[in-house]
Structure 1
Amino acid sequence: MMAVLAVACNSEPTLQSYYVDHQENDNFVVLDVPSSLFLGDNSNLSEEDRKALKSIRKANVLAFPVNDRNTEAYQNEKATIESILKDKKYKVLMKLGSSGRNVKVMYLGEENAIDEVIVYANDDTKGFAVARLLGDDMDFSALMKLMKSASKGDVNVNLDVLGDFGKEIEEKSGNKSSEF
């Protein structure tokens, strides 16, 4: 009983709790999309690629576009999200960065049974975004192969589901071109 109480009292924020706590915050732009909406007809793919696609359940994106009215809040939220992502349970796949832009790709689970892929991108002039790709026993090597297929244009992805997401980021940032 003490162990249950100790776990219940743990106040360490998780990425999921951060996401839930901030999705109604006016500084953030949120996108939740089930995979069935953003994946088109991919019957031409190999069986392995189709299996990798089927292991993806949904994508969640939480973005904080920075503007001249929210820079202090941006710095605080950026520090909070980076603190959460330092937890050892988030295994880093790769880091990229140049000219003030940083991207970190992480995952939860094991390489052959990934539960969540996290992409964290930040740019102090544009803001930050955290994308969560949620699935069931996603396989890292299969996902990497799938990403190569996608980069060649072989994967049918319906970008129309993004709809007003980019426009909302643009409006909140005050910029005409907000690319994360």
Structure 2
Amino acid sequence: MKKIGILLAALSLSLAGCESKPSLQKYFVENSEKKEFIAVDVSPSILNTDKVTLSAEEKEALESFKKMNVLAFKADAKNEKEFEAERTKVKEILKDEEYQELIKVGNGKEGGAIYFVGDTDHVSEFVLYGSKKENGFAVVRILGENMNPNHVMSLLGLLKKGNIDMEQLKPLQQLMVKP
């Protein structure tokens, strides 16, 4: 009987210790099916680098990149309050110490920022956030292993150099169309 009591106590402590704080991953899962959001998962094949000669640094960056998740909220005159509420949720998540700000542009209402998770030599996730009242906001999670800030710059260069597979980005075209 004493063992059962100890087992129950240990179980309750372990359940109480589980974190239930908001995270971007939870936010993506909770909102990806909602009609106000556009969700796109992008694989490394979008870069279409088969016919491109890559430098050693570009190869390393490409190998560290696993996938990209995009979640965008399309704003219009009918959903201004919801836009503000959702944008506030994302900003609160990004205030967590897990997300380290790398660069910020614009002001608090409009603009963007790049965050990372991990340390500068072993980044597991880069987060790009951008917001504009007329269009909405987007959060991009670039997931990988042992990435670093140079890898992101290399990947951005590969976007220009490679033959991008636009089919993977087709759902995002809705965000660019003016209401």
TM-score, normalized by length of structure 2? 0.83
| Match in the other structure for 1:165 | 171
CA distance 1:100–1:159, change in 2 (3 Å): farther
Runs of 4+ in 1 over 6 A off after TM superposition: none
Question: What is the aligned counterpart of 1:85 among 80, 87, 94?
Answer: 94
| 1:12 correspondence with 2:21 | yes
Q: 1:106 aligns with which of 93, 98, 115?
A: 115
Q: CA separation of 1:142/1:34 partners in 2, compared to 1, >3 Å: closer, same or farther?
A: closer
Q: Look at both structures and tell me which one has the larger radius of gyration over its CA atoms.
A: 2
Q: What is the CA–CA distance in structure 1 between the aligned matches of 2:24 and 2:151, rounded to whole Å? A: 25
Q: Find the counterpart in structure 1 of residue 140 from structure 2.
A: 131
Look up the match of 1:30. 39
**Corresponding letter in the other structure for 1:160:** M
Q: Distance in 1 between matches of 2:55 and 2:47?
A: 19
Which amino acid in structure 1 is aligned with residue 77 of structure 2? D
Identity score, percent: 28
5+ residue gaps, structure 1: none
Per-residue displacement from partner, 1:69-88 (whole Å, max 9, x unpaired)? Answer: 11111111011110000001
Question: Scaled by the length of structure 1, what TM-score is found?
Answer: 0.83
Shift of 1:98: 5.8
Higher percent of residues as helix: 2
Output the aligned Cα RMSD: 2.3
Aligned-partner Cα distance in 2 for 1:141–1:80: 29
AA partner of residue 35 (structure 2)? D
Give CA-to-partner distance per residue, 1:8-60, whole Å, 9 cap, x none.
2x331100000000001100011101112344326512112111111101111
Unmatched runs of 5 consecutive residues or more in structure 2:
1-9
Residue 125 of structure 1 and its aligned partner are, at CA, apart by 1.8
Are the equivalent residues in 1 in contact too, given 2:74–2:137 (CA < 8 A)? yes
Give the aligned length. 169
